[in-house]
Amino acid sequence: MTDTGAAKPNIRQVAAIAGVSHMTVSRVLNDYPHIKEATRRRVLDVIEEMGYRPNMAARALATQRTQRIGVLVESAIEFGPTSTLRAVESAARAAGYAVSSIAVGDEDEISPQDAIDNLTGQGVDALCIVAPRSSSVAALRKTSMSVPVLVVKPDDDPTFLTVSVDQHQGTTLAVDHLVSLGHRDILHLSGPLDWLDARARERAFHARAKEWGIRERPIVVGDWSADFAYDFAKGLRGLPDYTAVFVGNDSMAVGLMHGLHDRGFHVPEDLSVVGFDDVPLAGHVVPPLTTVTQNFRALGTSVVDILRAAIERREIPKTTRIPAELVVRASSAAPRHGASTR
Domain of residue 239, CATH code: 3.40.50.2300
Is 3 among the domain residues?
no
Helix (H) or strand (E) holding 38: helix 37-50
Is 197 among the domain residues?
yes
Contact 276, 292 (CB under 8 A): yes
Same domain, 207 and 229: yes
Identify the pLDDT of residue 279. Answer: 96
- Range of weakest confidence among 105-109, 134-138, 235-239, 282-286: 105-109
Contact 113, 139 (CB under 8 A): yes
Contact 71, 150 (CB under 8 A): no
Same domain, 187 and 229: yes
Averaged pLDDT for residues 227-255? 97
Cα(227)–Cα(81) distance, rounded to whole angstroms? 19
Same domain, 148 and 228: no
- State which of 83-97, 128-142, 261-275 shows the largest mean pLDDT: 261-275
Is 335 among the domain residues?
no
Domain of residue 42, CATH code: 1.10.260.40
Same domain, 73 and 219: no
Same domain, 183 and 160: no
Same domain, 287 and 302: no
Buried b or exposed e, range 25-50, using 16+ CB within 10 angstroms: bbbbbbeeeeeeeebbebbeebbeee
Averaged pLDDT for residues 240-245? 97
- Residue 217: band (very low, low, confident or very high) from pLDDT cuts 50, 70, 90: very high
Averaged pLDDT for residues 30-56? 80
Contact 17, 46 (CB under 8 A): yes
Is 327 among the domain residues?
no
Residue 269 has pLDDT above 50, yes or no: yes
Same domain, 160 and 300: yes
**Using one digit for the tens of pLDDT, what is the confidence trace for 297-342?**
999 999 999 999 999 888 888 889 999 999 999 999 999 866 655 5
Identify the pLDDT of residue 216. Answer: 86
* CA nearest neighbour of 99 among 77, 74, 79, 119: 119
* C-beta contacts of 140-144 below 8 A and 24+ residues apart: 140/112, 140/116, 142/113, 143/113, 143/116, 143/117
Strands 290-293 and 325-327: antiparallel
| Domain containing residue 39 | 11-54
Is 63 among the domain residues?
no
Strands 126-130 and 68-74: parallel
Is 32 among the domain residues?
yes
Residue 64 has pLDDT above 70, yes or no: no
pTM here is: 0.80
Is 316 among the domain residues?
yes
**Using one digit for the tens of pLDDT, what is the confidence trace for 77-115?**
789 999 999 999 999 999 889 999 998 876 666 777 788
Is 336 among the domain residues?
no
